[in-house]
Amino acid sequence: MNTVPAPPSELAGRTAVVTGAANGIGAAVAARLTAAGAAVVACDVDAAALADQAARLRDGGARVAEVVGDVSRAATAEQAAQRAEREFGGAHVLVNAAGIQRYGTVETTDESVWNEVLAVNVTSIFLFAKHLVPLMRAAGGGSIVNVSSVQAFVSQTDVVAYSASKGAINALTRAIAVDHAHEQIRCNAVCPGSVDTPMLRTSAARFAGGREPAELLAEWGRSHPLGRAARPEEVAEVCAFLAGPRSSFMTGSEVRVDGGLTAAAGVALPDGG
């Protein structure tokens, strides 16, 4: 099933900064926002993948600037803000889609891994918001969309750093929303379940054992009441809605895009009961 395209002029004249824009959800968001008319500053640490994604968008007529760098570093966020202002005249939208997954409990997770996950998943949001909020204020308002996870609410085993980072994203989202509502700067979180991205496929390859990773991916998808994992474009659709004027009275919200995963109890009645 295809997603419904946004009105082509919905984000015309607007500039968006997107982190994690080379692959997965971030790439889908960048494509979705440009399709709605926005210029995009695309940020990622993967230079080759980012160049490929930017080239595809430009081939479709999009206006794109690339920033290659570690999103957990202030210099990368500052450069993204500078590019947005210099090349496109300012910024109106920030989508923080960059994220990493690491595995371990509190005992087995090294402190360096804990710090890495929190830096990429949470500190990057703080830094990009810090540098983009002034541009949004100058523009008369804006929208920040943070890609979180259902693991801000529930947790699987062996993901202590990831789960903690996603809970922190939701709390940070609320704080930004409250602090900047009077400036017409909105901030919302999108909380996906399993999404068929390179990150999820890497996890499937790690835990597949003797099976095909695709088989494990399908099994994870079946844990959602809708019976499958999401496509990145489906999450990007919600991000685009929150980025644009149709969500003008939403701020501080946590939108679950999880195929019913967190709505379902783990115990079901037997068939024919």
Over residues 184-201, the mean pLDDT reads: 93
How many angstroms separate the CA atoms of 168 and 172, rounded? 6
Residue where the block lists tokens 């679950």: 256
Report the pLDDT value the prediction gives residue 190, as an integer from 0 to 100. Answer: 98
∠ CA 234-51-116, rounded to 5°: 70
Q: What is the pTM of this model?
A: 0.94
CB 166 within 8 A of CB 154: no
The region of weakest confidence among 86-95, 119-128, 220-229 is 220-229
Residues 165-194: b if buried by 16+ CB within 10 A, e if exposed: bbbbbbebbbebbeebeeeebbbbbbbbbb
In this structure, CATH architecture of domain 15-261: 3-Layer(aba) Sandwich (3.40)
In 3D space, the residue among 142, 181, 148 whose CA is nearest the CA of residue 162 turns out to be 148
The region of weakest confidence among 123-132, 197-206, 227-236 is 197-206
Model confidence at 47, pLDDT cuts 50, 70, 90, reads very high
pLDDT above 50: residue 1: no
More confident of the two residues 2 and 241: 241
pLDDT above 70: residue 231: yes
Report the pLDDT value the prediction gives residue 6, as an integer from 0 to 100. Answer: 53
How many angstroms separate the CA atoms of 166 and 253, rounded? 14
Over residues 40-65, the mean pLDDT reads: 97
Determine what percent of the chain is predicted with pLDDT higher than 70.
96
Report the pLDDT value the prediction gives residue 51, as an integer from 0 to 100. Answer: 98
Model confidence at 176, pLDDT cuts 50, 70, 90, reads very high
In 3D space, the residue among 57, 37, 43, 137 whose CA is nearest the CA of residue 90 turns out to be 137
Task: Kindly report, residue by residue over 13-39, the tens digit of the pLDDT.
Answer: 999 999 999 999 999 999 999 999 999
Average pLDDT over the chain, rounded to an integer:
94
Model confidence at 220, pLDDT cuts 50, 70, 90, reads confident
Domain boundaries, the chain: 15-261
| C-alpha count within 13 angstroms, C-beta hemisphere, residue 29 | 35
Model confidence at 92, pLDDT cuts 50, 70, 90, reads very high
pLDDT above 90: residue 175: yes
Task: Kindly report, residue by residue over 35-44, the tens digit of the pLDDT.
Answer: 999 999 999 9
Q: Indicate which residues carry an active-site annotation.
A: 162
